[in-house]
Structure 1
Amino acid sequence: MDKKEQIILAAMRLLTERGVQATPMSAIAKAANTGMGTIYNYFATKEELINAIYLYIKRSEIHLVAKALESDSSLKSRFFSFYTAFISFYFKYPESFAFMDQFHSSPIITQSTRDAGQADFMPVISLIQQGQQDGIIKNMDLDALLHFLAGTITTYVRWVKGSGKDNDQALVDQQLRLVWDAIKE
């Protein structure tokens, strides 16, 4: 792991535990076991660092999810694979989930960062668009559909974590049925 990634991971943990105002750059430097100058070599401001964390998580998510989309199976099966991969990602990386849950809608995340994050998600977007063109998925505003799907993933993960339940396959299957029934034509 390089210094930049050390800083990103330390900042992610501290920001989700303490919040933006209670996390000075000096605390991030200490947690990353680096100096302030090193942090400022990579990130001019805390806001720039938060945006870098957002993209780091988005790119980590899509790296895992893209593998789930690489198959010749049906659109429904690929949808189930990508949706399950997102859920698995957030259970495997709870700090990433906590960060995205806290910062996804934050005004700290710039439009250019959001656009870059969305550009990385073209495989998922293409899957949804293909489903719409084929008459399998409801033909509605793409952004509305993507926000709906993101909301169902976040709510599901938050519910399972908060209820003390295990993320077992029966619950995932129920979630998949609910979401598929909501978006299918």
Structure 2
Amino acid sequence: MAREKELQDKRRRIMAVALGLLAERGFHGAPIAAIAKEAGIGVGTIYRYFKDKDSLIHAIFRELHDRYQQQLLAEFDPDRPLPKRFSQIFSFLLRMFITAPAEFRFMELYYYSPYATASAARLPAEEGLILQTLQEAREQGLCKNVPMQALEAMAWGPVVALAKEHSNRHLAVNDEIIAQTVRASWDAIRNS
């Protein structure tokens, strides 16, 4: 049991160090050797846990994705009116991105890279709550009648832009700015 915990701790350490370096340097700027050095382990140790760097990157994404999904679902109230559900989802995700800028940078790198070609690469809850909320808004005539990908892009635009400003330029963000940004996301998709 102690050995298993030690192995899990080492795996988590590798993933945490890799997340930080990959978010800072990009996928090509953080070789396995740099990750091993930063983690204080040998390169071969990483390969005991991950087949290759791609497997490590996918594992980090999956862990973040699953954690965000679980936390979002735990707080989600499906009985709220649709605009309030939209606000709840995007406020939650924006707070997560603001709280953990390295995770946000990693998720964005992943999402806009060749790693994200599979449907499993969608951001947390997109295949569920976000997509369902946008589809429901469209069915109720509350949002613009554009292709779903365009609608998603419009909804995500202000949220991602603010998260980038915080992550890259250290913009101070408070609850009022988060609320205004999420309102801007809703305004971007709603029918005028």
What TM-score comes out, normalization by structure 2 length? Answer: 0.80
Cα gap change, 1:146 to 1:55, in 2 (>3 Å)? farther
Trace 1:12-161 onto structure 2 (pairs within 5 A). Answer: 12-107=19-114, 109-112=115-118, 115-118=119-122, 121=125, 122-161=128-167
CA distance in 2, matches of 1:6, 1:155: 30
- Aligned identity (percent) is 28
RMSD: 2.4
Q: Tell whether 2:175 aligns with 1:169.
A: yes
Asked if the contact 2:68–2:124 (Cα under 8 Å) also holds between the matched residues in 1, the reply is: no
Asked if the contact 1:59–1:117 (Cα under 8 Å) also holds between the matched residues in 2, the reply is: no
Following TM superposition, the consecutive aligned residue runs of length 4 or more in structure 1 with deviations greater than 4 angstroms are: 161-164
Number of residue pairs matched by the alignment: 182
CA distance in 2, matches of 1:72, 1:64: 18
CA distance in 2, matches of 1:164, 1:74: 34
Q: Deviations along 1:90-117, whole A, 9 cap, x unmatched?
A: 111111012123332122x1422xx113
Gaps of 5+ in 2: 1-7
Does the residue aligned with 2:163 lie in a helix, a strand or coil?
helix
What TM-score comes out, normalization by structure 1 length? Answer: 0.83
